[in-house]
Amino acid sequence: MVRRLLIGAAVLFGLWVLDRGLTAGLNPYFYRILVLSGLNVMLALSLNLINGVTGQFSIGHAGFMAVGAYTSAAFTVYAAPRLAGGTPEGLLAALLFIPAIAIGGAAAAIAGFLVGLPSMRLRGDYLAIVTLGFGEIIRVAILNIDAVGGARGFAGIPQLTTFTWVGAGAVITYVVIRNLLRSYHGRALLAIREDEIAAEALGIPTTRYKVTAFVISAFFAGAAGALFSHYTYLHTNSFTFMKSIEVIVMVVLGGMGSLTGSILGATLLTALPEALRFASADRLIIYSALLIVLMIARPQGILGQREISFSRMFGRFRNPAPEARGTGVK
């Protein structure tokens, strides 16, 4: 336990140092791309839990992100000043940012539960349509709430998000989902993807697991939304159907069910449109063409179901843990 806390602190410190270095040495444009990559990593990892691991098809991820973004922003703008007795500054602002992110994640998780429970009887296309509808309803509903800016966008949110926050968010998302997948819970999700009828016959309560996957996934999408809303101008236009599709493409491109694949896919697809800026007007065409070529060349995604594993790379130096050889997804 102590060891884990130390590792956590070390990672956090490392991120902070890196952040300092990046802020000093990198122009703001690249810094921004890195932050957005981190957010997309969180989104892709969490969506992978539903679409890749559990084998369900959700296209409402932007909806969960929006719930998290607006709830946490509302907390920071309306509740935080009261708690702090004035506009919080410096360390206090940072400390109040933690509950803001947690509240954003929790609100999205509740939304995930509410959407998941009734719709888990549906499969494939039907589930996709329900989640699509949910995403749009959320967006339009927020558009009509004046307290969070409605169609004007939500202004006056302190810009608290830095690379350190996003990096920590991405690391936590990865570790939580990875640990889950290495447990019997995670394997139950895989079993549902492989054969739901067999899973149920072996005593796995499939509906409960699917809803759980939805809730966990929505939580991290909400947390990513919370970080997003404290980074850039907040408007419902950021959470359209296209955003959900973008995240799906990241998951599919990286490899369904592969966590490191999602990280790779998210980073690549955030950076690619920027790298193609030299082609100005043609870049969207090139971007799309690249995706098509990639999907023809590797329909299973870049990593398929495999994982990039450092412990395997260095595994020659020590005995591999028996469980590390177990699942296709780890």
Partner 1 sequence: MNHEGRHGGTAAAPGTAILALERVTCAFGGLKAVADLDLSLERGVLAGLIGPNGAGKTTVFNLVTGVYPPTAGRILLDGRSIRGLSTSRIAGRGVARTFQNPRLFAELTCFDNVRIACHLHCGATVADSVLRTPRSEKEEHELLERASGLLEAFGLSGYAQERARNLPYGDQRRLEIARALATEPKLLLLDEPAAGMNAQESIRLMHLIREIRDRYRLTVLLIEHDMRVVMGICERITVLDHGVKIAEGLPEAIRRNPKVIEAYLGEEA
The two tokens of residue 197 are: 């009828």
Task: Note the Cα 325 to chain centre separation in Å.
Answer: 26
Site of interaction with partner 1 (CB under 8 A)? 176, 179-180, 182-188, 190-191, 194-195, 197-206, 212, 216, 305, 322-323, 325-328
Q: Are 48 and 274 in contact (CB under 8 A)?
A: no
Q: How far is the CB of 74 from partner 1 (least distance, A)?
A: 28
CB-wise, 130 or 189, nearer to partner 1? 189
CB-wise, 133 or 304, nearer to partner 1? 304
Q: How far is the CB of 113 from partner 1 (least distance, A)?
A: 14
CB-wise, 72 or 212, nearer to partner 1? 212
Which residues partner with 154 through β-bridges? 234
Q: Are 189 and 206 in contact (CB under 8 A)?
A: no
Q: How far is the CB of 321 from partner 1 (least distance, A)?
A: 10
| DSSP SS3 for 299 | coil
CA dihedral in degrees (119, 112, 169, 68; nearest 10)?
130
CB-wise, 34 or 191, nearer to partner 1? 191
Q: How far is the CB of 19 from partner 1 (least distance, A)?
A: 26
Helix boundaries (H) for the chain: 2-25, 28-48, 61-74, 80-84, 90-119, 124-143, 163-181, 184-194, 196-201, 206-229, 241-254, 259-275, 283-297, 310-313
CB-wise, 216 or 268, nearer to partner 1? 216
How far apart, in whole angstroms, are the C-alpha atoms of residue 88 and residue 75?
A: 12
CB-wise, 118 or 326, nearer to partner 1? 326
Q: In this structure, how many other beta carbons lie within 10 angstroms of the beta carbon of residue 197?
A: 8
The total number of residues shown for the chain amounts to: 330
CB-wise, 184 or 278, nearer to partner 1? 184
Q: How far is the CB of 328 from partner 1 (least distance, A)?
A: 6
Q: How far is the CB of 179 from partner 1 (least distance, A)?
A: 5
Task: Answer positive or negative: Cα dihedral of 249, 251, 255, 260.
Answer: positive
Q: How far is the CB of 63 from partner 1 (least distance, A)?
A: 23
Which residue's structure tokens are 């009261």?
82
The two tokens of residue 82 are: 């009261």
